């Protein structure tokens, strides 16, 4: 029973990401002209209305069929792993929930608009970073959390291996 509660909890996190992503995109589409930019912190952070028909950095422009197929496969895989692998690993479950919400958020844009609505525009150490959105942020956060989980799993397996054979390394 606890397992199903956790799965439900992870889906609630994904739903929150989707709702936050879609509501912010709705605000941008309905209140800004494409290309319009509002400075939040000069030379650092802007809200810029932008559209992207490709992936990160505008690669694969116009390849919607490819994005549809890849996203459906990724969503199915994430849902499978939430159910099968996240048992007892809350960090893994939350990371997968963030990735699920991000993937679905951008998928909704591609299906409805045939493009992704982006609006977070940053200059990091003078670099004009590509404009992104909440879904993109959730995907990145999810991947970082997944990498942390993988490092923790690796450390745990090394500790078990070293503990089982009696050796200990400081």
Residues labelled as active-site residues: 118, 136
Task: Please choose, from the candidates 48, 52, 21, 51, the residue with its C-alpha nearest in 3D space to the C-alpha of residue 32.
Answer: 48
Measuring CA to CA, which residue among 67, 63, 37, 64 is closest to residue 50? 37
Of the candidates 89, 78, 58, 54, the one whose C-alpha atom is nearest the C-alpha of residue 143 is 78
CA distance 97 to 91: 10
């Amino acid at each position: 029973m606890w397992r199903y509660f956790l799965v439900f909890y992870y889906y609630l996190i994904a739903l929150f990401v989707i709702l936050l992503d879609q509501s912010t995109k709705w605000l941008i589409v309905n209140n800004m002209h494409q290309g319009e930019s509002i400075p939040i912190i000069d030379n650092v952070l802007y809200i810029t209305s932008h559209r992207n028909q490709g992936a990160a950095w505008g690669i694969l422009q116009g390849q919607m069929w490819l994005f549809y197929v890849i996203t459906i496969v990724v969503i199915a895989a994430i849902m499978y792993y939430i159910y099968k692998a996240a048992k007892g690993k809350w960090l893994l479950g939350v990371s997968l929930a963030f990735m699920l919400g991000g993937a679905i958020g951008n998928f909704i844009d591609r299906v409805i608009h045939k493009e992704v609505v982006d609006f977070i525009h940053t200059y990091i150490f003078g670099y004009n970073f590509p404009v992104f959105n909440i879904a993109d942020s959730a995907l990145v956060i999810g991947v970082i959390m997944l990498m942390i989980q993988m490092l923790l799993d690796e450390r745990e397996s090394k500790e078990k291996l070293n503990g089982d054979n009696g050796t200990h390394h400081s």
